Amino acid sequence: MVDTNAYENGQSIDQIKTAMLDPVRIRKRKRSEKIIESIFFISAFVAVLSVAVISLFIFTEGIPAIFEIGFSDFIFGTKWQPLGDVYGILPMIVGSIYGTLGAIVLGVPIGIMTAVFISEVAPDWLVRIVKPAVELLAGIPSVIYGFFGLIIIVPIIDETLGGGGNSLLAVIIILAIMILPTVVSISETSIRAVPKEYKEGALALGASKIQTIFQVILPAAKSGILTAVILGIGRAIGETMAVILVAGNTPMIPDQMTDRIRTLTANIAMEMGYAYGLHQQALFATGVVLFIFIMALNILLNAFTSKVGDV
């Protein structure tokens, strides 16, 4: 790039080019670029190293407990009784899966419809109100969601359906609300990224606005929307504090929506503070199961998203 300041100060183009080709300056420039590249590499290395160290720590602490308890007894056992050295996490696995699936079924359609409303339907003045309100949800601490669920949602469920209110249904509602900012923001960005020619072409062919949205725009943005769903699943299955406050935290397999549940994350958070010995190792083993579950889920969904994006 030509130095315009030097050119304005009266230096000729040849003088500027000579200065740019000066070996000293070239060496300084290369040295600066190498330093910046080294900083980028170190940053990436630290990120990867952090994941590797955490994974190694969790597996080192948790795997021995799985072998000591027994893989089948640990994964498929239905009783969690630390005082009797009985550690079965099937109720927590089922509780995590049910809560996450329920949150996705409830929250994803609402999130996608909200994204469509913001990007395609709402007037500008309303977008300036709705969009910041949705984004504000992402900044609310999870414990506040938990308090809201405990004070508002749990009593309503108790009065309507009975069972005390602390239940799988309360967990689903809270998690559905918590994943909305992620689903809405990423889905809206994906919808806005669809070329305008798609929309204009569909309208020119006689399609209505709603037909264009559902038959042209959303299919074109499906890769980004699936990414939003993946991140929403990760947020839901990894949530702890809000779930502890509304779930009831009973290690049992739920038979209905009003039953109390305990998730994998809640199990670790509630008992790690006083656990020791095999009990503590069993909690680390619970973390191993959660880690493997999330990684497998992300790999499968990313593969599916890539496949869909290639279609």
pLDDT for the residue numbered 223: 83
The secondary structure element, H or E, covering residue 215 is: none
Specify the residue for token string 């062919």. Answer: 205
Q: Is the dihedral of CA 202, 208, 209, 211 positive or negative?
A: negative
Closest CA to 103 of 159, 187, 170: 170
pLDDT band at 2, cuts 50/70/90?
A: very low
Backbone φ, ψ for residue 87 (5° rounding): -130, 95
Indicate the average pLDDT of the chain. Answer: 85
Tell which wins on pLDDT, 69 or 9: 69
**CA–CA gap between residue 5 and residue 7 (Å, rounded):** 5
Specify the residue for token string 């909200």. Answer: 114
- Condensed to tens digits (0 to 9), the pLDDT of residues 167-188 reads 999 999 999 999 999 999 999 9
**CA–CA gap between residue 29 and residue 23 (Å, rounded):** 10
Asked whether the predicted pLDDT for residue 194 surpasses 80, the reply is: yes
- Condensed to tens digits (0 to 9), the pLDDT of residues 216-228 reads 898 888 888 888 8
Specify the residue for token string 């809270």. Answer: 174
CA of residue 173 relative to chain centroid, distance: 17
pLDDT for the residue numbered 150: 92
Cβ atoms of 190 and 223 within 8 Å: the answer is yes
Helix residue ranges per DSSP H, the chain: 4-8, 13-20, 23-69, 71-76, 90-116, 124-138, 142-148, 154-161, 168-193, 196-204, 209-212, 218-220, 222-238, 241-247, 264-271, 278-310
- Condensed to tens digits (0 to 9), the pLDDT of residues 120-156 reads 888 888 888 888 888 888 888 889 999 999 999 999 9
pLDDT band at 18, cuts 50/70/90?
A: low
Cβ atoms of 213 and 116 within 8 Å: the answer is yes
| 32-53 mean pLDDT | 89
| 267-287 mean pLDDT | 89
pLDDT for the residue numbered 7: 47
8-12, 209-213, 284-288: segment of lowest average pLDDT: 8-12
pLDDT for the residue numbered 112: 92
